[in-house]
Amino acid sequence: MVVSASPGSAGALLRLDCFDDAWRSRLEPLLALGRSAGADLVEVFLERTDHLGVLAEQDTITSVSPAFGAGAGIRVFRGERDGFVSSNDLSEVGLRRALEQALGMLGLHASTAAASGFEGLPGLRDFGASKVDWLHRCPELQEATERLLQGTGLLERHGKHLQVRRGSYARDWQEVLVASSDGTFGRDIRLHQSVGLNVLAADGEHRSSVGRRYGTSGRPDDLREWNAEQSAREVCDSAGTMLYADYVEAGQMPVVMANRFGGVIFHEACGHLLETTQVERGTTPFAERVGEPIAHEAVTAIDEGLTDGAFGSLCMDDEGMEAQRTVLIENGVLKRFLSDRAGELRTGHSRTGSGRRQSHTFAAASRMRNTYIAAGPHTPEELIASVDKGLYCKAMGGGSVGPTGQFNFAVEEGYLIENGQLTKPVKGATLIGEAKEVMPRISMCANDLELAAGFCGSVSGSIFVTVGQPHIKVDSITVGGR
């Protein structure tokens, strides 16, 4: 759809099916209007989305869920306060109405007075120019369903005693444009694809349930290149091993946690405590600890948006700031917090390109991207050999986290460690602890860092993230069991 531009746009055409530099003609007057009303800063976030979800159960496609969307989120700041309004109406009238509502939250009113401190937008930083064909290069529905059914078929081939076989595929395409009265003007196109396999195995009174999800960003051919055979084998091998496993005995013991998705505990129990949203709320025990040790000296933790293809990577955040690498913890010492625009304003911690949101219906907040514990000098075998009696967590399942870092995570696939060797598989294990107590007990990190795709829900909705770590050894942690 193409509509005529407003007067003064030098004849440019404003396209509602594409965010480009022509939107300057609509956004500059809007930003100026907000500034003239007394706002310190005005931000407009525009978004278009195209989603496809497919679910396969056994050998049948049982759900296909396409979704399309477009809208704007407008946020205004005055002092340390802000007002936010979202709208699906991208017309000039609709955007102005949303701005006036956001201003009204702060007791401000639109004015015809000259704007102070706003001199117009600079040239567009277009990170999406090379990505315009990404959506068209993705698999169409027919191809996606065929690949998914191939995956569930391979589960039947490689698994035993399987009662349930499920496969799921999701493709999320998003185009965004961010314009702010501080001179931010950027556009990007994002693409995320993920595929998951889940099985339930049962034999008499024995049960096991295993699931794995694989995901990337910025790779239109991801589903075509997915190694379904390897994924199916991984899921079925785990389910078969855990089907007849004994239940673990509860107690306090050393634990070795595997790489990849093992990093979910650091993400949930500690990573969230290093976001400025937690500093604002007063819910992080680390608020005044910058420059102090909060973990064992073996631990260095990083959050970044730069790793090619990783689920949490992005060229710019949802406030228009370019992605960067942020060292959170270095040799056990807390170095920085993750901060967005509001976090910088209210806590003094400088922005880190971490302002993220699920969609235009949320205001951005400080959120993680690719978050992981860095590799260390040891081998995984050395970590296991250092434990006389403990637990090896090969795969983590779901869990819960309290507001100040208390966590409770299930172990999906576990093994006893006895005299420095892996012995029998065990199930029913739960890791229980608190971030400020467990972080100083991570005494060894291996040299096999790997990342895994995931989703994170918080104040600004559900977003794509990466968790990760090498194999790590926790000297002592509470293991719940029988």
The string of pLDDT tens digits covering residues 43-76 is 999 999 999 999 999 999 999 999 999 999 999 9
How many other β-carbons are positioned within 10 Å of the β-carbon of residue 67? 10
Rounded Cα distance, 409 and 65, in Å: 31
| Residue 129 confidence (pLDDT) above 70 | yes
Q: What is the mean pLDDT of the chain?
A: 94
d(CA 369, CA 372): 10
Please compute the mean of the pLDDT values over residues 351-359 and round it to a whole number. Answer: 98
For the stretch 380-392, pLDDT in tens is 999 999 999 999 9
Per-residue pLDDT band for 13 (boundaries 50, 70, 90) equals: low
So what's the pLDDT on residue 12? Answer: 53
User: Domain 2-114+124-243 in CATH: superfamily?
Assistant: PmbA/TldD superfamily (3.30.2290.10)
The total of other beta-carbon atoms located within 10 Å of residue 48's CB is 20
pLDDT of 76: 98
Report domain extents, the chain. 2-114+124-243, 246-480
pLDDT exceeds cutoff 50 at 10: no
Q: Sorting pLDDT into bands at 50, 70 and 90, what band is 401?
A: confident
Higher pLDDT, 116 or 416: 416
pLDDT band per the 50, 70, 90 thresholds, residue 17: confident
Strands 450-458 and 301-304: unpaired
Segment 152-193, tens digit of pLDDT: 999 999 999 999 999 999 999 999 999 999 999 999 999 999
pLDDT of residue 34: 95
Cβ(24)–Cβ(185) below 8 Å: yes
Strands 442-445 and 450-458: unpaired
Q: Which residue has the higher pLDDT, 403 or 10?
A: 403
Q: What are phi and psi of 392, to 5 degrees?
A: -105, 120
User: Does the pLDDT value for residue 1 go beyond 70?
Assistant: no
State the Cα–Cα distance between residues 310 and 219, nearest whole angstrom.
10
For residue 95, the SS3 value is helix
Count of positions (residues) in the chain: 482
The encoded tokens of residue 304 equal 């970044």
